[in-house]
Amino acid sequence: MTIHIGAKPGEIAETVLMPGDPYRAKWAAETFLDDVRRVNDVRGMLGFTGTWRGNRVTIQGSGMGMPSLSIYANELIRDYGAKTLIRIGSCGAMQEKVQIRDIILAMTATTLSTPSRGIFREVNFAPCADWSLLRAAVAATEARGAPLHVGGIYSSDVFYDERPDLNEQMTRHGILGVEMEAAELYILAARHGVRALAVLTVSDHLLTHEALSAEDREQSFGDMVEIALEAAFD
């Protein structure tokens, strides 16, 4: 048991999927895992452990933003021995070629700031995904025939952004989409020698202003969860 996770020793699997929304964690666990049991409800940040094709999996909410994710990822890795952490979440598209419902696999994550910024001081560390997970996720997505984009994303530290000039530069430099957690996850994975990947579903578009309805989000997010599971156990 840690400050933010109430699971007992042995209740967290080595493979952890991390949606931001704790209720999405509940939905994903009940939909895709067998023998599911809740292992965390501290502060309402739900976590569940079950099995997928005989493999133990934990799905733990991370909250919104890099500071919140950093808390849960640190405790999962340092206190519970998590070895593979995959963020499953939504993002906003930043390129015309990227469409609503498409899957983005984040090869790299650009950011202005993360909770780890103070460690690097003047160094601009380049957070990137684990290659084995990325390769497996590409294969899993292609096998499903889902529209796929692989490349750089932007992890913003604000939701209500008032820097249109910055968004323009991200688009100009080929950034596929924007979300709020992956960069810190990749940094923590590098620091602790574990695997990490962000599998993202495009839920809205910064250029066209399209957005998925709640019903469409659930259907589209199902593909993302299965891709993450297949990549983790490739």
- Among the options 204, 216, 223, 234, which is catalytic? 204
Q: Which helix (H) or strand (E) holds 52?
A: strand 47-52
At 199 the three-state DSSP class reads strand
Could you list the residues known to form a binding site for phosphate, using ranges.
20, 24, 43, 87-90
Catalytic status, residue 157: no
**What gap in Å lies between CA 106 and CA 83, rounded to an integer?**
19
Amino acid sitting at position 12: I
Helix (H) or strand (E) holding 219: helix 214-232
d(CA 234, CA 135): 10
SS3 36: strand
The DSSP call for residue 12 is S
Q: Do 100 and 213 touch, CB atoms closer than 8 A? A: no
17 residue type, one letter: L
Contacts for 106 with CB less than 8 Å, ≥ 6 apart? 129, 151, 152, 153, 176, 182, 197, 198, 200
Dihedral over Cα of 202, 206, 208, 209: its sign:
positive
**Catalytic center residues:** 204
